[in-house]
Structures are given as structure tokens and as C-alpha cells.
Structure 1
Amino acid sequence: MHIHHLLENNSVANKFVAQLRDTDIQGDRMRFRRNIERLGEILGYELSKNFKYEDKAVTTPLGTASVDLPAEEIVLCSILRAGLPLHNGLLNYFDDAENSFISAYRHHPDNDEKFEILVEYLASPSLMNKTLILADPMLATGRSFVNVMKALESMGTPANIHLVSVIGAREGIEYIASEFPENTHLWIATIDEELNDRGYIVPGLGDAGDLCFGTKMQH
């Protein structure tokens, strides 16, 4: 797996990640969502450098210009519900992409710390020979990405796979690296060192879905 770690180099993205983590700012849901969206835009820009391009002629009022444009069929797939702001950021840049949505959540069958990832909803176009961009802001254990990819197998085999996330744990990254094809690319803003005993990223930022949209009832 090819890992692209955004905060290895300092940029304005540092500010957006810091605000996502900051408990004094997290209460502003609109800013929280917007910061995830802005990171999606930055990660999308970096990701676009990996595309194949074709020369196109563009007619201007004064003549013709030659421009290299992306030559890939893109499908953006977001994991509900926390993935929606990240999806919006990517869609701001890849505005002609097809879109896919899938649900994945932690289910605690015994009401303890053990959980399984359940996938219950999928709406997707064909992925056959297309470029799949799979987005989820939190990469904790990595099991959501893996289970979602398995659920998407019925949609066809993509030519390229890009995973986009905001914060990940090294343990989860190692796990998805063992489960996804070697030529998969991971685009991630920042990487934390550990998971706690509940499978949450430390220091992380908490539950991204709740911080974006409000707390949910467990079932």
C-alpha cells in the first residue's frame, strides 16, 4: 500500500486538524464539518496528482489552448454517516464523479467492548475498471474500510483504489495494508500511534459522526 501522510509536511492543513481535535472548538458542529470538508479538498488535490491525464484542446475567445485533463472515471464512495463532510470536500474538486454511499457501524452484540462492523445499506454505480475513492474520516481498526470493500465487490472490480481519511491509527493502517491490493493508495491527514481498549484512536478526536451530526442512540 502507498501511504501519503499529509502532515509530514507543514501546511494550513495543520490548523484544520488541530481545530478538529480541540475540545473548545468541537462544540461548533458547522466548523467541525467544514474542517473535515476542507481537508477533503486538500487530500483530493494531492490525490489528483496521481491520476492519468490526456491532452485536450480548449477553445478560448482568442484561440485554442492545450490542457492536460484527468482521464479517469471516478466513483466517490463515502461511509455513512461521518463520511459525508469528507465526501463533500472531495466532490467539490471531483464534481463530475459518480457517487456511492454505504453504511457501516460498530455493533456491540454483548453490550461490552467487543464489536463487529455491520454494513446494511449500499447505493452504488458499477465500479468496473473505474477509479474508486473510498472516504471515511476515521481509520481506527481498519475494519470498516475492509468490510465496506468486501460489500462493494458485487459492484465490479475498480482499476484503482484510493482510500481517504483524516485521522488514522498505525494498527489500523497496518491491517488495511494487509487486506487491500498492493497498489492501493491511502491519503491521510495525520497518523496517531495507538488505539485504546475500545478500539478508538488516541489522542484522536472522539466520535466524528457524533461531532458532525449529534449523538445517536445505540441499537
Structure 2
Amino acid sequence: MVINLSEKYSLLNDWIAEMRDVEIQKDRMRFRRNLERIGEVAALEISRQMETVSKEVQTPLGISVTSVLKDQPVLATILRAGLPLHQGLLNYFDKADNAFISAYRKHNRDGSFEISLDYISCPDLENRVVIVSDPMLATGSSLVKTIHYLREEGKPSHIHVVVAIACTVGIEYVQREEPHATIWCGAIDEELTAKGYIVPGLGDAGDLAFGAKTQM
């Protein structure tokens, strides 16, 4: 299942527009905060699909019966670009366990690239709801490889993927490899360049959030 959060207007559309804007995106704090906001919106929407239990709460005047989350999810993100989006999810799922994965494109001299995964820190995922966040879903290679590594830590009951900008090519690849995952997108773009960049996209989310890096 694929959900485009900007298909129907909300304030999220404004945040996406600011992140894409070549001038506004120069404000790193604003860029990070907009990613964080998208994570918060996604957390709220995902929570509607999660299992709940009934709970009695003692108030100063009586008993209130309400529905609360049955189990906390595991929030997984791809370093470093995924950190602001992850923080937005964590702001709402504030009791969640967390997983961190270092995955990046290692570019070759001919312009091609490979997905390098150097580090993973993860709790037991057996029968857990796992929410994987990464700001850009381009080819989908790093995301799928990340999910495959996560599955080695247990079989999740369900996987949600949260991205700010997705490309249709990447979405289709993730759907082929992980057909039961739910993909939440801030916006969906159609074009992917030969070098694997989304157009119109927004640029390099990691660099925009944290500064330019040297290629290792």
C-alpha cells in the first residue's frame, strides 16, 4: 500500500514546498524542522492503523475509558539523513524502541554506485511493528537492503516506510521486494535520473540538513 500524504492539501504541502525551494532550503534548521514535522504527521497517521487496547484511567472526578496503543513500535532510520524524520516520529512514539543503520551510496569512478552498509544497532524485531524512515526514496536499493538486514533481527508483524520525497521507480521496486510494507510519502515525483537522483526532488537531504560531506 502506498499513501501520498500531500495528495489532499494540508499544511504538509507547505512544508514540502519550503524544503524544495532552492532559497528557503538553505536554512538548515528550517529544513530539519520541516522533515521533523513530516515525521510527526506520519506518526499520527500510522498510529490510526495500529492495534489498541481499552484502558481505564482514574481522573480527579471519576473513571475515563479510552483506547491506547497496545504495543510500541520500533523506529528505524538510515544515518545520517534520516535523523530529522526519525525525530519527528519519536516525538509522537516517545516510548518506542529505536534502530539505526548506516547505509549510503558508494560512488565509483564511472558514475555508478553501490549500497554500502557499515553499521546496525537494533532491538529484537520479532512480531514488532517497524517504522523505517529515510527522507528520499529514489532507486529504493538502500531502503530494501536496510529492511533485509533488519529482518535478520526478527520477523516484524508489519513494516511501515516513511519518506519525504519518493520516486515512482523506487516505490515500485520496494513494492516488488517488500509487497506487504506500507509506504508513506510526503510527495511523489515521477522522474529519476541515470545517476539515481529524483527530479524535481529537493537535492541531497543529508547535506541540506547537516552540511556537505566528502565522498569516502
| TM-score normalised by length of structure 2 | 0.98
- Per-residue displacement from partner, 1:80-123 (whole Å, max 9, x unpaired)? 00000000000000000001100110012x32321111110100
> Counterparts in 2 of 1:94-133, with a 5 A limit?
94-108=93-107, 110-133=108-131
| TM-score normalised by length of structure 1 | 0.97
Counterpart in the other structure of 2:92: 93
- For residues 138 and 183 of structure 1, the distance between their equivalents in structure 2, rounded to whole angstroms, comes to 20
Contact 2:72 2:93 in 1 (8 A): no
> Runs of 4 or more off by more than 3 Å in structure 1?
none
- For residues 181 and 55 of structure 2, the distance between their equivalents in structure 1, rounded to whole angstroms, comes to 28
Letter in 2 for 1:38: R
- Per-residue displacement from partner, 1:138-189 (whole Å, max 9, x unpaired)? 0000001111011112211101110000000000000000000x33111111
> Counterparts in 2 of 1:1-219, with a 5 A limit?
2-108=1-107, 110-180=108-178, 182-219=179-216
Which SS does the other structure have where 1:66 is aligned? strand
Alignment coverage as a number of residue pairs: 216
Q: Specify every segment of 5 or more residues in structure 1 that has no aligned partner in the other structure, as ranges.
A: none
Q: Specify every segment of 5 or more residues in structure 2 that has no aligned partner in the other structure, as ranges.
A: none
- For residues 151 and 54 of structure 1, the distance between their equivalents in structure 2, rounded to whole angstroms, comes to 31
Aligned-residue CA RMSD (Å):
0.8
Identity across the alignment (%): 50
- For residues 34 and 113 of structure 1, the distance between their equivalents in structure 2, rounded to whole angstroms, comes to 32
- For residues 70 and 112 of structure 1, the distance between their equivalents in structure 2, rounded to whole angstroms, comes to 49
Contact 2:77 2:100 in 1 (8 A): yes
